[in-house]
Amino acid sequence: MQINEHKPLIVAFCCNWCSYAGADLAGNNRLNYPADVKIIRVPCSCRVNPMFVLRAFQRGADGVIICGCHPGDCHYTSGNYYTRRRMAALFSMLDFLGIEKERTRVEWVSAAEGAKFAATMNDFVEKVTALGENKRLEDLRCKK
Amino acid sequence: MQKITQNQLIDKAVSLLADGTVSAVLGWSKGEFGYDVTPKMFKTEKELRQDFVWNDFCGANFSKYLVSKTDRFDGKILVFLKPCDTYSFNQLLTEHRFDREKVYAVGIPCDGMVDVSKLKAVTGEGISEIKETSENILVSTIYEDKAIAVSFKDVLLERCINCKSKKHVAYDELMGDEGEIIDSARFDEVAKIEAMTPDERFAFWQNELSRCIRCNACRDACPACTCEKCVFDNPASGVENKAPANSFEEKMFHIIRAYHVAGRCTDCGECSRVCPQNIPLHLLNRKFIKDINEFYGEYQAGAEVGSRAPLVDYTTEDLEPGEVFDRRDIDA
Amino acid sequence: MQRVGVFVCWCGSNIAGTVDVQAVSDALKNEPGVVFSTNYQYMCSQAGQDMIKDAVKEHNLTGIVVCSCSPRMHEATFRKTAAAAGLNPYMVEIANIREQCSWVHKDIQTGTEKAIILGKAAVAKVNLNTPLTPGESPVTKRALVIGGGIAGIQTALDIADAGFPVDIVEKKPTIGGKMAQLDKTFPTLDCAACILTPKMVDVAQNENIRIFSYSEVSEIKGFVGNFDVTIKKNARYVKEDICTGCGACVEKCPMKKVPNEFNLGMDNRSAIYIPFAQAVPKVATIDPSACNMLKNGKCGLCSKVCAAGAIDYTQKDEYIQEKYGAIVVATGFNPISMDKFDEFAYNQSKDVITSLEFERLTNAAGPTAGHLERPSDGKSPKTIVFVQCVGSRCDACAEKGKEYCSKICCMYTAKHAMLVRDKYPDTDVYVFYIDVRTPGKNFDEFYRRAVEEYGVKYVKGMVGKVTPEGDKLKVQASDLIENKQLHIDADLVVLAAAIEPDKSARPLATMLTASMDTNDFFTEAHPKLRPVESPTAGVFLSGACQGPKDIPETVSQAGAAASKVIGLLAKDKLTGNPCVAHSNELMCNGCSSCERVCPYGAITYEDKEFRMPDRTTKIRRVAVVNPAVCQGCGACTVACPSGAMDLNGFASNQIMAEVDAICK
Amino acid sequence: MNNKYLREELIRESGVNPKKCMKCGKCSATCPAYDEMEYHPHQFVSMVESGDIQPLLQSESLYKCLSCFACIERCPRGVEPAKLVEAVRLAAIRKQGENRMTANDVAEFLDEDVPQQLIVSAFRKYSK
Amino acid sequence: MKVSYFPGCTLKNKAKDLDLYAYKSAEALGVTLEEIENWQCCGGVFTTARDEVATKLSSVRALKEAFSKEQPLVTVCSACHNVIKQTNHAVQNDKEFSDKVNRYMGEDGGYFGEAEVYHYLEMLRDLVGFDALKEKVVNPLKGKKIAAYYGCLLLRPGSVMKMDDPENPSIMEDFIKALGAQPVVYAKRNECCGGYVSVESPDLAKKSSNQVVQNAKMQGAEMIITACPLCKYNLLKNGADIPVVYFTELLAEALGVKEDTDEQ
C-alpha cells in the first residue's frame, strides 16, 4: 500500500517577545523546518482565543501549535500562565470529543531557542503528518 | 413529592408582600398542562393564590431571570431558591450581574425534580392530569382510562439523581431544614467516556451532537450565559451561525458554549433539562469541572461570592497542557 | 475597502535566492484590496522607501504590506516611511518572508508558495487595519518615595536636586532605616552615622522634600504620571511643628520599661521617645501601647514639662491625599526570625545574638555605649563564634530559611571579626563559613586583612549545635579542611541571619499592582536592562526591596531610580502604545473577568446609563481600559465571554482573517 | 563491582539527591558519633556522588551512625545524609554472610535492664 | 473518648511502668485506651530505605485497624511512635511504597495513610488539653525542677513527626508545668542518648548520655523524664546521678493514681 503523501497544514501562533523571536533566530541560523508551518504573530500567547484554534481547524488546518515565553518569563509577567490553563482545558475537551490529541500543542520557546523552535516544528509536523488529514474537526464547506 | 408545600410558599410570599418586604414575587406559574410550569412575576395575593405552583416540575432555575428582572423593576423581588439555584445566584453576584439589594431570597428545600421526557417515556403522550403522592406520580392520559402510577424515583432529572448539594449557599431566609453538600457520583459518566478509546469517544459525541437542532435552548436557560450580546448572535464574532449547518458547526457551538462557562458553570444541569433532543450537554460542562478540579484543585463555582474562577487564575506550578494527556494515560 | 500596496523585498539574494519574488508580487496583485504590487532589491534602502512613498501618492494607497525580513527588524522603519508619506503608521503590515521563509526552506518552489501565503495573510490583515493614534496623558511633577532608609533618602535627594518635589513616607518615627543602626561600614570602616546623618539633615532642609514620618501609604489609585495616593499619618500625640526635640518629656516620662526597638530590645526606652539623637524629624512620639495617660488617663507628666506645649493626647490618625507622577519603592529589608533555627539556641540564651544586635552592641550610641559586653551578665566575651549563612542558601523545599544568598553577611561578619580583634586583641574570634563571597571593590582585600592582619580564625565548616551550659556556650562545629569536629567553649555566638524584604512590601505590591518574586522581592522590568524599574509603569525600585544589597550598591541603585524618575517627570506628556485593549460597552457584561487577568490593573468599571429600545434607560456596569496603563498583552480579550474586549493592532477579526488566509 | 550502578541504586534506595549538597559540613558538625567515624556524614554524601563507594562499604563508620537524624533535621539543603548512610549499610549487610550480628551475640550484652527495644533495634541495624 | 493504643514490645516487658501508668492516667482523664488486637513489634527503628517493606507491615496493620475503628492511634514509646508515624508518612507520600505495602497486605481494601497518629503527649496536648489536665491534677508537683528529655525519636525528622519545633520543643515542658512542676530547659534535650549503638560502642553511648545528663544538671534539673525505654536505659546505665523516670509515672503521680497502681 502506498503511503498517502498528505502535506499537513500547521498554524503556529507565536508570541512576539519570545517565540516569534525564537523563530527569527531559527531563520538566522538557517535551521530548516517544513514549510507547512505558517506563523501568526500575536503580542502574547494569552491573546490566542480558543475560537482561533477552532477556526484554524475549521478552515482546514491539520494541527495548531501555540508558542509562548517560558512560564515565569512572560513579557507581560503572567500572560502565558493563563494560556497554560486555557489550553489545558481546551485540549482536554478536544480529546474528550475524540479529536486526536497530537493535533494540538503548547510549547514554550524563548528568544534564544532557535534550535528548539526548529526541532519542535519538525517534531510536530512529523506527528501531524502521521495522523493524516484532519477529518474529525473539519468543515466540509471550507474544503477546496 | 416535595416536603414543603405549595401553600406554605404562597403564604410566605403573601406575607412578605403584605409587610412590604418585597413588591413582587418571581415564581413558578401553572402552564397549560401539569408539567409545563413557567416563570412569572406575581404582584398580588390574588395572582399568587390563582397561579403560583410548587410541585415536582418546578426545575427551572430563576437566578438568571434576576438579571433582566431587577434592572427593570424598582422594588424588591422575592425569589424562591432551591439549593442548586443558590449556586447560580452566587455566581451571578460574583459577576456583578444583578443588584443584591433588590432581591429577597428565600431558600427552600428540594426533594428532586421530575424529568418530563422520562415521565413521558413511561406514560406516553397525551397527559391530561398529574397528581402527586408521597412516592408516586399518578398520571392520567387521554388514551388510558386509568391513571398510571409512576415511581417518583424512576423519573428524576439526571441532575437530581446526582444532586451535589442540598445545602443553600445564599439566602435571606430559609424555609425548612438546611441540608448538606453531597459527595455525589456526578463525574462517573464523564469518567466512563474518558475511559473509551478516542474513536469511541468521537463516535459517541458524533451521535449525540448530530441531533442538535441549534434551538439555543441550552444557552437561553443557562444561568451562566447572561452576556449582553452572545457571540453566537454577533456577526462580528466569527462564530455566528443560526442553523446546524454541519457536524463541525455542532461541535464548534457546543465546545465554545461549554468553554465560555468553564470555571463559571455551577453544574445546575439546566442545559440538559431543557434540551428538546435529550443531548447530555451537562457532560461537556462536567468534563471541564472535573478537569479543573483535578488540575487546579477542587473548585465549586458559586459556592461563595467573589471567588476567583480557575480560568482567570493561575499558579506558577500549574500543569502543562501536554501533561493533561500523560496524566490520564498513567491513570488508565 | 482599503487600497493596498504590496512591496516584496529581495534582500539581495537573502530572499530572492530561495523565493521567486516576481511570482510573489504577481500573485499578491490579485488579492482583495491590492491595487499595486511590486518588488525591489532592498526595500529598506532609501530608494526602496522612496518607492513606497511614491506609490502611496500615485495609487492613493491606504494600506501597505511589505514582504521582507522580520517585523522585529524593520517594522519601525516602514511605519516611519508610511508616516512620511502621510499615512497612519499603523496601516503597515509585514510578511516575514526572510527569517521564517527563505532562510529556513531550501526549495524555491515551496519557499515561493509559502511566501505567497504569508503575503496573503498580511494583506488580509491590513484590509482590517484601522488608523491608530497613541494616547497622551499629563504628568504630575511630584514623586513619592516609600521608605526612608538610605535608599529612599538618596533617591529623594537626587530627585529634589533636579528640581522636582518629593515626599518621603516612612513608617518609623524617624528616617534613617537600617543604616542608622549600624556601627561601622565595610570595606572602609567609616562610621555609618558620620556619613548617613548629614544626608538626613540634607533631607530635612531640602525645600523640595517633605517627610511623612510615622506614616504609611494606605491607598494607591491611578497610573503612571497620575497616581492618587492616600497617606495615613499615624497619631504620634505630639504636634510635629511645635516640638523642638529638647527631650525634657523623655527624661520625665515615668514609664521607662518599654523595650527599645532601635536597640533591638537590648535596653529600654520611655513611653514618649525620640529613637536616637540624630533622628529626623527630631520630634518626640508617644507609644500608645505604653503610655499611661493614653491607656487610662493617669499621668500627663510630659504635657506638664513641655515648654512648647507640643503634647496633644487627643491627636487622631490623619489621612492625606496627594497626586504623584512617579512612585519609588524603597521598603528595605529585615533579618529573618531565628525561631526556627534553635539548634543555635537563640531562644535559649541571651548570649546568642544576631549580627544586627551585634552592631548595636559595638555602637557607641548603643545599649552598652560601645563596650562589647555579653547581654546575659555584662562580662566581656573572650571567645566569640560567628556563624555565617544562618537561614540563607537553604533548600527551596525546606520550611525554614531562604533559598538565596543574603549577600551582605560575609562582609559585615569580616568587619565585626576585625573590629573585635582590633579593640580587644585578647579575644579569640572564629568565623564559620561555607564560602566567603567578596565580589566588590576592595572587598576581598578587606576579608584577607581580617585573616592576615587581625588573626581572625576562619574555619571552613558549619556550626551544628550550640549548647548553653553554665555561663558558657558549647559550640559543636565541623572543620572540613582538617576533617575534624571542633568543640569550642564560647562566650558569645553571633548569627549572620538571612535578610528578607520588609513585611510591608507585599501589601504595597498589591496596591501598586507591581509584581514580586516568590521571596517577596520586587521584580524588575528586565533583570539586566531595566533593573530599577518595576514592570508596572511609573513604579521604580530602590535598594534591598528588589534583592539583597550592600550600601554602595543601594546608593547607586537609588541614584539610578532617581534618574529614571527625573526622566519621567521631565516630560509634560506621556505617549502610549496604541496597540491597547478596548471594550465595546454595548457588549460588556461588567463581569470582572478581564479585570482579574489584567497584570497591570488597567481595567476599571463604571456604571453607565444605556438607552433601551423601548425608550427606557438602564444603568449597567461596564469595563473601561486605561490606555496609558494597558500594555497590550490581550489576556483580557480571551477572558471576556462576550467578546466585548478587543485589542488594537491584533483584533480578533484580524487574527481570524490571517488564519483564513493561511488555511485557504 | 559497577560503581555507577551501585551509586544509582543507593540514590534510588535512599531517595537522597547528593547533588543538592553545598558542602557546608553542618551534618558533620551536628553528628554525635563523629569522633567514632572514619568517614563522616558529609563524606558519605560526596563519596557516593563521586562513586567512591567501596571504602564506605568496608568502613566501620556504617555501624557508628546512631540514626538520630540530627543531620537530616539540620541540613540546610535537605540532603538527608543519614538516609544515605542507611542505604550503604544495607548494601553492605545484605551481601551473603555479611550479617553483623546474630542471635548468639545477644547474650554478650544482655543484662537484666536491657529493654527489648534495644535488641530489636540492634537487629534491624546490624542484620538483614 | 476512645482511642486505639499501640503499646509495643518493651512496654509489655522491661517498661511495664510506662504502660501501666499510661492506662491508669488515661482512665483518670476519661480516655479509654483500646489495645490494637494482635499487634506486633514495630521493629524498633524505621529503616529509611525505600525498598524495605516487610519490616514496616506491622505498623501498617496497626494503622489500618485504628482507621477501621475510626480512632486515632496512640503510642507511648518514642520508638514505636517514630516507626509508625514515619511509616504512615511513607504510605501517604511514596506511591511506590504504598503500592508494595498494599500488595503485601492483599486484604480487602487498601490503606493509604488515612489514620491519625498521636503520641500520648500529643493526645494530652491536643485531645485532652493541658488546661483540662491541670484541673485533674490532685498532687501538684510543686517546686520540682524537672528536665524533659526528648531524645531524637519523638522530634525527628521534624517535617514528618510534626510534634513540635524540633530544635526548641515545648510540649514536655508544658506537660511538666501542667503537673505543677518547674520545667528545666536545656539544649541537649533533643540530642541522642546513644541509642542501639550501646550494644557495640558502649563508650559512644556513655559519652552521649553523659552529655545529656550533665547539661540537664548544669541547668538545674533534679529529675529527668522521658518517653523512651532505651533512653532511660542508656542514661541510667551510664551513671545518671539524678532520677530518670517515664513521663507517665510522673503523670500518674500527679493525678493521684500512682499509689493504687503500686498496690496492685
Residue E222 and residue E186: Cα distance in Å, rounded? 13
Query: Are D66 and E8 within 8 A, CB to CB?
Result: no
**Domain C235-316 has what CATH class?**
alpha beta
Mean pLDDT along residues C255-268: 95
Q: How far is CA C279 from CA B329, C369, C555, in A?
A: 67, 18, 20
Which cell is A132 given?
493524516
DSSP letter for B181, please: B
Of C345, E91, C396, whose CA–CA distance to D78 is shortest?
C396
Task: Report the pLDDT value the prediction gives residue A2, as an integer from 0 to 100.
Answer: 45
| Range ranked top by mean pLDDT from B17-31, C319-333, D109-123 | C319-333
Mean pLDDT along residues B301-311: 92
| B80-94, C339-353, C564-578, D92-106: least confidently modelled range | D92-106
Top pLDDT among B31 and B18 is at: B18
The distance of D49 to chain C (nearest Cα, Å) reads 17
Closest residue in C to E212 (Cα–Cα): C467
Please check whether the domain covering C333-500 is classified as CATH 3.50.50.60.
Answer: yes
Q: Which structural domains are found in chain E, ordered by start?
A: 2-120 (1.20.1050.140), 130-263 (3.40.50.1860)
Of E179, C6, C580, E187, whose CA–CA distance to A76 is shortest?
C580
Q: Tell me which chains share at least 3 CB pairs under 8 Å with chain C.
A: A, B, D, E
Closest residue in B to A102 (Cα–Cα): B322
CATH architecture group of domain C581-648: 2-Layer Sandwich (3.30)
Which cell is C56 given?
502611496
Mean pLDDT along residues C534-549: 93
Which cell is D30 given?
551536628
C-alpha dihedral, C143 to C147 to C151 to C155, nearest 10°? 10
Query: Are C590 and B96 within 8 A, CB to CB?
Result: yes
Asked if D6 is an interface residue toward chain E (Cβ–Cβ < 8 A), one would say no
Tell me which residue in C347, C399, C470 faces E218 most closely, judged by beta carbons: C470
From the CB of residue B13, how many other CB atoms can be counted at a distance below 10 Å?
24
User: Residue C405: CB partners within 8 Å, gap ≥ 6?
Assistant: C389, C392, C393, C437, C548
**Average pLDDT of chain E to the nearest whole number:** 92
Task: Report the pLDDT value the prediction gives residue B331, as an integer from 0 to 100.
Answer: 45
| Interchain contact C/D (3 or more Cβ pairs less than 8 Å) | yes
String of DSSP letters for C292-328: HHHHHS---HHHHH-TT--B-TT---EEEEEEESEEE
Of B62, B146, B141, whose CA–CA distance to B104 is shortest?
B62
Residue numbers in E near C340 (CB within 8 A): 165, 167
Asked if B312 is an interface residue toward chain C (Cβ–Cβ < 8 A), one would say yes
Closest residue in C to D19 (Cα–Cα): C395
User: Residue C283: CB partners within 8 Å, gap ≥ 6?
Assistant: C173, C213, C236, C238, C240, C243, C245, C274
Query: Are B312 and A82 within 8 A, CB to CB?
Result: yes
Query: Are E215 and C466 within 8 A, CB to CB?
Result: no
Best of A82, A103, A106 to disrupt the C interface (most C CBs within 10 Å) is A82
Shared fold status for C4-126 and C235-316? no
Residues 631-650 of C with CB under 8 A from A: 631-635, 637-639, 647, 649-650
Best of A77, A93, A104, A127 to disrupt the B interface (most B CBs within 10 Å) is A93
Band of the pLDDT at D127, cuts 50, 70, 90?
confident
Residue C329 and residue C543: Cα distance in Å, rounded? 8
Asked if A103 is an interface residue toward chain C (Cβ–Cβ < 8 A), one would say no
Band of the pLDDT at C424, cuts 50, 70, 90?
very high
Asked if A118 is an interface residue toward chain C (Cβ–Cβ < 8 A), one would say yes
| pTM of the predicted protein model | 0.74
Closest residue in C to B225 (Cα–Cα): C641
Q: Which is it for the CA torsion E88, E89, E92, E93, positive or negative?
A: negative
The distance of D85 to chain E (nearest Cα, Å) reads 10
Asked if B248 is an interface residue toward chain A (Cβ–Cβ < 8 A), one would say yes
Task: Report the pLDDT value the prediction gives residue E264, as an integer from 0 to 100.
Answer: 41
Instruction: Yes or no: say if E97 and E46 are a contact pair by the CB < 8 Å rule.
Output: no
Pairing of strands C34-40, C4-9: parallel
Residues of E with CB under 8 A from a CB of C: 159, 165, 167-168, 185-188, 191, 214-215, 218-219
Task: Report the pLDDT value the prediction gives residue C397, as an integer from 0 to 100.
Answer: 64
Asked if D114 is an interface residue toward chain E (Cβ–Cβ < 8 A), one would say yes
Query: Are E218 and C469 within 8 A, CB to CB?
Result: yes
Residue numbers in C near A26 (CB within 8 A): 99, 104
Query: Are A140 and B246 within 8 A, CB to CB?
Result: yes
Band of the pLDDT at B242, cuts 50, 70, 90?
low
Residue B304 and residue B299: Cα distance in Å, rounded? 10
Closest residue in C to A77 (Cα–Cα): C599
| Interchain contact B/A (3 or more Cβ pairs less than 8 Å) | yes
CB-count exposure of residue A133 (10 Å: 0-12, 13-18, 19+): middle
Task: Report the pLDDT value the prediction gives residue C517, as an integer from 0 to 100.
Answer: 82
Residues 101-120 of A with CB under 8 A from B: 101, 104-106
Q: Is the pLDDT of residue B292 over 50?
A: yes
Instruction: Please provide the distance, in angstroms rounded to a whole number, between the alpha carbons at the two ends of chain A.
Output: 26
Band of the pLDDT at B258, cuts 50, 70, 90?
very high
Residue numbers in A near C104 (CB within 8 A): 26-27, 30-33, 35, 118
Q: Is the pLDDT of residue E263 over 60?
A: no
Asked if C111 is an interface residue toward chain A (Cβ–Cβ < 8 A), one would say yes
Task: Report the pLDDT value the prediction gives residue A1, as an integer from 0 to 100.
Answer: 42
| Model confidence pLDDT, tens digit, residues C615-630 | 888 888 999 999 888 8
Tell me which residue in C340, C348, C399 faces E187 most closely, judged by beta carbons: C348
String of DSSP letters for C545-602: GSS---HHHHHHHHHHHHHHHHHHHT-SEEE--S--EEE-TTT----SHHHHH-TT--
Residues 568-607 of C with CB under 8 A from B: 586-593, 596-597, 605
Residue-wise burial string across C530-556, b where 16 or more C-beta atoms lie within 10 A, e elsewhere: eebbbbbbbbbbbbbbbbbbbbebbbe
Query: Are A90 and B259 within 8 A, CB to CB?
Result: yes
**Average pLDDT of chain B to the nearest whole number:** 89
| Model confidence pLDDT, tens digit, residues E147-201 | 999 999 999 999 999 999 999 999 999 999 999 999 999 999 999 999 988 888 8
Task: Report the pLDDT value the prediction gives residue C231, as an integer from 0 to 100.
Answer: 98
Q: Where are the domains of chain C?
A: 4-126, 235-316, 333-500, 581-648
| Interchain contact C/E (3 or more Cβ pairs less than 8 Å) | yes
Best of A49, A58, A93, A96 to disrupt the B interface (most B CBs within 10 Å) is A96
Query: Are A72 and B291 within 8 A, CB to CB?
Result: no
Tell me which residue in C389, C395, C478 faces D28 most closely, judged by beta carbons: C478
Mean pLDDT, consecutive 10-residue stretches, chain A (144 aa), reads 72 94 94 96 96 92 95 85 96 94 94 93 95 86 67
**Assigned CATH topology for domain C4-126:** Rossmann fold (3.40.50)
Residue numbers in B near C585 (CB within 8 A): none
Query: Are B231 and C592 within 8 A, CB to CB?
Result: no
Best of B207, B314, B325 to disrupt the A interface (most A CBs within 10 Å) is B314
Q: Which structural domains are found in chain D, ordered by start?
A: 3-95 (1.10.1060.10), 101-128 (no CATH)
Tell me which residue in A31, A49, A59 faces C638 most closely, judged by beta carbons: A49
Of C208, C211, C215, C216, whose CA–CA distance to C141 is shortest?
C208
The distance of C356 to chain D (nearest Cα, Å) reads 22
Instruction: Yes or no: say if A99 and A137 are a contact pair by the CB < 8 Å rule.
Output: yes
Residue numbers in C near B97 (CB within 8 A): 589-591
Residue pairs between chains A and B whose CB atoms are closer than 8 Å: 119
| Model confidence pLDDT, tens digit, residues C344-367 | 999 999 999 999 999 999 999 999
Asked if C105 is an interface residue toward chain A (Cβ–Cβ < 8 A), one would say yes
Query: Are C662 and A40 within 8 A, CB to CB?
Result: yes
Tell me which residue in A27, A44, A78 faces C100 most closely, judged by beta carbons: A27
Residue numbers in E near D13 (CB within 8 A): 49-51
Residue C148 and residue C200: Cα distance in Å, rounded? 9
Please state, for a pLDDT cut of 90, what percent of chain C lies above it. Answer: 90
ipTM: 0.68
Q: Tell me which chains share at least 3 CB pairs under 8 Å with chain A.
A: B, C
